[in-house]
C-alpha cells in the first residue's frame, strides 16, 4: 500500500479524509501502512504538509471532517477542515515534552478501538513533528527582532512585496507607516543601552496594544519601526498613526525620558514599487520631524 501524493488531490474540496483515500491506497496491511506514513512524514519539514499526510492516514481509520494542530509556533488546520458532532483531543508528548495539541472532528463516534489506532499513528508522527517544529521555530526567529519580538527588516521587505502583489491582483489597498522615536539617542548617551532597551520594549508593547493582531508590526533596528496596513485599515491609516503617537506618549519609560514618536504615512498607488512607497513614507516621516516632532504626516 502506498500513500497518494498531495499534488494529485484537490484537498480543499474534499468532503472528508476518508473520501480522498480510495481503496487502492488503503487496502494493505496495518504494519506496512504505518511504515509508509512514517517514511512520507520524514520527507517534509513543513508542518502544514505533515498535517495533511497525517490527516489522510487518520481518515482511513475513521471518516473525519477536520483535523487541527495547536503548537507553540502556530495553529494549523488540515485543508477542508470543518466542525462535526464528535471531537477527540490528544496531546502529542515526546519524552515528557508536549509538542502539540491535536483535535479530530467526525460525524461518527470515537470508539476505544478507533482512539487506540489513532494513538498508534500519533506515535509515528512524534519525531518528524519535533523536527518540523524546530525548523519552523528557527525560521520564525530569523524574521523577528530579538529584543521586541516584532518583525525585522527582512520580514518587512517580504511582507511589503506580498501586500503590493495582492493589491495588484485584487485591486486592493495597502499602506506603510514609518515611526521614529524623538529624543531617543540622548537616552542611550546619558543613561545607557539598558534604559534604551526598556523604551524600545515599551514602544513595541504600545504598538501591540493599539493595533489588532492582524496588523503587521516591525522594528528595523535602532529606534525605527514600521506598520503595514492592508484592506479597510488603509482608509484609517492617519487615525491609526495618531493613536500610535498617543499610546507611546503614555508609556511610563517614554514619559520618564521625554521620548515621543513621529510617524510618516504613505498609501500605495497603482504601479508604485515597494521602494517608491517606502521612500514616500520616509519623506512624510521627515516632514513630521521638521514640523516639531510627536506628530503624524501623510504623503
Query: 25 Cβ partners below 8 Å, 6+ apart?
Result: 1, 2, 3, 4
Q: Which residues are catalytic?
A: 223
Per the DSSP assignment, residues forming a β-bridge with 221 are 224
Say how far apart CA 13 and CA 226 lie, in whole Å: 38
Say how far apart CA 228 and CA 173 lie, in whole Å: 11
Number of H helices, E strands in the chain: 10, 9
The residue count of the chain comes to: 299
In our burial notation (b when 16+ CB lie closer than 10 A, e otherwise), range 168-185 reads: eeeeebbbbbbbbbbebe
Amino acid at each position: 500500500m502506498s500513500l497518494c501524493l498531495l499534488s494529485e488531490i484537490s484537498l480543499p474540496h474534499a468532503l472528508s479524509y476518508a473520501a480522498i483515500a480510495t481503496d487502492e491506497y488503503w487496502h494493505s496491511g496495518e504494519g506496512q501502512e504505518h511504515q509508509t506514513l512514517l517514511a512520507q512524514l520524514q520527507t517534509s519539514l513543513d508542518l502544514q504538509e505533515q498535517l495533511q499526510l497525517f490527516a489522510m492516514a487518520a481518515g482511513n481509520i475513521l471518516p473525519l471532517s477536520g483535523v487541527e494542530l495547536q503548537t507553540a509556533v502556530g495553529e494549523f488546520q488540515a485543508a477542508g477542515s470543518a466542525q462535526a458532532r464528535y471531537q477527540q483531543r490528544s496531546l502529542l508528548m515526546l519524552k515528557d515534552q508536549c509538542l502539540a495539541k491535536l483535535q479530530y472532528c467526525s460525524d461518527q463516534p470515537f470508539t476505544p478501538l478507533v482512539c487506540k489506532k489513532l494513538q498508534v499513528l500519533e506515535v509515528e508522527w512524534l519525531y518528524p513533528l519535533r523536527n518540523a517544529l524546530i525548523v519552523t521555530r528557527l525560521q520564525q526567529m530569523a524574521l523577528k527582532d530579538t529584543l521586541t519580538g516584532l518583525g525585522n527588516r527582512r520580514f518587512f521587505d517580504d511582507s511589503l512585496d506580498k501586500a503590493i502583489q495582492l493589491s495588484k491582483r485584487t485591486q486592493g489597498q495597502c499602506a506603510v507607516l514609518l515611526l521614529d522615536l524623538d529624543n531617543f539617542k540622548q537616552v542611550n548617551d546619558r543613561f545607557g543601552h539598558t534604559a534604551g532597551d526598556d523604551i524600545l520594549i515599551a514602544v513595541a508593547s504600545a504598538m501591540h496594544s493599539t493595533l489588532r493582531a492582524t496588523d503587521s508590526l516591525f522594528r528595523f533596528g535602532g529606534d525605527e519601526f514600521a506598520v503595514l496596513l492592508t484592506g479597510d485599515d488603509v482608509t484609517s491609516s492617519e487615525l491609526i498613526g495618531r493613536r500610535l503617537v498617543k499610546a507611546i506618549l503614555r508609556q511610563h519609560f517614554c514619559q520618564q525620558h521625554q521620548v515621543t514618536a513621529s510617524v510618516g504615512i504613505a498609501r500605495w498607488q497603482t504601479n508604485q514599487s515597494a521602494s517608491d512607497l517606502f521612500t514616500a513614507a520616509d519623506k512624510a516621516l521627515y516632514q513630521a520631524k521638521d514640523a516639531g516632532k510627536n506628530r503624524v504626516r501623510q504623503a
